[in-house]
Each structure stands twice: as structure tokens, then as C-alpha cells.
Structure 1
């Protein structure tokens, strides 16, 4: 009786393991269309942010990508607003899922530009002109001061971070998030993702994949001695390779400690 129970338990475990693997290996298929014209869109980049794999749509707007329930898919196309969707069970059950992208011309809200109107009266113009509320912090022994943004408890930490070496900064950003660095390596290995990043300059895809802010990317590269010109003009693929190189240096420095 005990032997039968053990066999039954093993069979259940194998069955559950097989089901989990089947779910991980399943592919999600859908069609990407233009929200305004409802026409299919070819060459749209699709990235699974969880599994860090990418693909592009064909001329009929169709794509197929490895995905599991609750994975987040990121859609990107030049001139259109990028979009993220969460994969659900219903999307696997029904095979006619359509993802609509909106042209930026429709997505952008109206912006009213109001230039400063100077009256010539100093007392009035001073009140109308915006004031820079960023606080400056100076540290004894250093010839320059650092701007820490609005006054808050983290401002001093930002100032201290500005004079730390790259390894310290990277440890703060990535040392507690090793999974993000695994994503970084997978991003470098996926040709579709590399092609997407090579065509972009907005850091949007990088921030989505790595789950960090644009300012963090700039801080990493600044502290790894990349020039301001490179940081502002490089495409996202070059930025990815630079961050990766910087992280490799961080690992070497970390081993020596």
C-alpha cells in the first residue's frame, strides 16, 4: 500500500512538472493593428519583458512569441506610442487577439507654450520667473558643490553617491537586483532585441527591461567615465553594451575586495 502511495505521489509530481514546463514552453500569437485605420502593422517589435525574448510582426501584423500567463509584452514601432500588455488565460483560449497601437500624433495631448512676458518692472518679473529650488551641498575638502535636488532625506545620499566610485554605484543599483543583470545578459544574446535597441535613442525599452530609471542609466555611465556626448547621442544598443561593460568592471572590483 505504501509503495502504491509513493508511486502515485511521484506520478502527480511528474505530471505537475510537465504541466508547468508545457505552460512555460507555450507560445502566444496575436495580430498588431493600427488603432486609427485598423490595418495590420508589419515590423513591429514585440518583447517579452519577463523572459527577455523578442520578435517582430510579419506583413500581416502577425507574431508568435514564447510567453506564459502574467508575462508582460512590450510593443514598439517608430512613430507610434509604445504599449505594454499583460498576457491572460483568455488570450490563449481565443486565437483572434488584436493589439492596437496609437500614432503619436493622436496620442500626444495639446501643449500650450507660454513664453515669459517681462514687464520691465523688476518686482513683478521676479515673482513671475520660475525659481530653481534645487539645494546645493558642499563637502569639506572638495572644491565643488553638488546639486541634490529638492530638500529631502535622500538628497545628502545623492551627493555622497556623486563622489563614490562606479563599483559602489553599481552595487547600489544592481547588487540587490541580480535578476536584472541576468536580463542584461539575455538582452545581449537576443538578436531581435538588439535590432530593436539599435534603432532607438529614447532609453524607453532599456528602462522597461531593466526596471530602472533613465537617471540611473545616466548615473551609471557618468561614473564609468563615459562622456556626456556619448550618453546623449548613443543608441540604446550602445548604451546596453556600455552598461554591460561597466558591470563587468564592477564584478572585477568586487572580487578584489
Structure 2
């Protein structure tokens, strides 16, 4: 019994010393999203310490190699990432968030009073028509231009114009792929990708999050198109992959001869 207690004490001491030997470094982090990021929670589950992002999405947190970082907020999809050696060396951590659409519980208000008799109330209740709301309904909505809207009109299909947002342009691109009477040329596809990327992300968003000078955003989009752009990144559910791809391409663009400032 004494030997068992002694062995347990040695093991506990060993693990404690090992935990104390982990040297963590403070990194400068940034939350990147299209909407408000103030108050987003960043938690290091490996050290049980966390922090929150400010109104600009900036934060500081201590990390070590292979630490698990958890990011959560009500309006965004929760993210869990593992700290790599590049993060430790550069002391920079960028986290991309995607907005989450919350599904609310159904509440029906009846126009008449209930009697308390279940059979009577069931007979007098009018069936409520179920209305299905889904992402595709946005195609039938018209959005008024605001001060953030670009002053531009793009033809997305023959004889038809779409206003405003990237959803319509994406659907226009899908129509291009579905046409059976004509195979689109490479130039037409490049033009479509350019229009979709320009509509999906503003110049300010691309410049601020990928360190591209604003006057060179159009050049950067053309650079991405020239690299055999994978159109599947534009599909629903691939938002994170698209942002990560653009982040990698921005680094190559800035390092290349064409990207030198």
C-alpha cells in the first residue's frame, strides 16, 4: 500500500513538472468576419485561459505548439483550431468566422379564446399554413441600394439583370453552367469568377483582411483567376475554404514580381 501511494505521488509530481515546462508565447490575434466581431470569445482549452475580441476583432492570448483554440459567438459558427509552429514563430493568429443562421422555435397565436375543452378547441382551430423559409428565397427579393453598394450593373444572363448582391451573381453563374446550348469559353468563365468575387467581397474587405493595397484589388482578383480557380469554392458551405484559399493566394501575390509594392 505504501509503495502504491509513493508511485502515485511520483507520477503526479512528474506530470506537474512537465506542465510547468510548457513555455507559451503571447500572439496577436485577429477575428475576420463580415459582421460585428466585438465580444467574440477566444479560449485556449489547453491552458484553460481565454479572452475576448475588441470592436476591431483584435485580441491577445498566450499559446504553445499544438494548443487547442476554441472560438465561439452566438452569431457565428464555432471554430476549433490547433496552434501550428508557424503561429508560434510569427506570433500572429488569424481566425475566419462564418455567420450562422439560427432556427427559431415556431410560435402560433390563435385569434380566438380557448375553452379549456381539448376536443372543442381542436375542432374550432383553423389549420395554419406552413411557410417554408430557405436560403433560395433571397433570389425573389429586391434589395434597395445603400451607401455601401457599388455603382455597377453586371449582365449575368441574356436579357436579364440582377441588382446588388453576390447571391444573384452566383445564381447567374450557375445558369451559365446549366446552359446546354452553348459551352462557355475560358474568357467568359474568368469574367464570371471576377464578377462573383468582386460582388462577394468588397475592396475594403479584401484590402483589410488580405493586406492587398486597395488600388491593386482588381489586379489580385485577376491573379486568382489566372491560377486555375476552382469554381466549387463558390458553392454553399465552402465559405471557409474560399477565404483560406484567398488568404494563401494573397501571400503568393505579394511575394511574386507582380505583387511587389
TM norm structure 1? 0.30
Question: Greater RCO between the two (CA within 8 Å, min separation 6)?
Answer: 1
Normalized against structure 2, the TM-score is what? 0.29
Higher Cα radius of gyration: 2
Q: Answer 1 or 2: which has greater helix percent.
A: 1
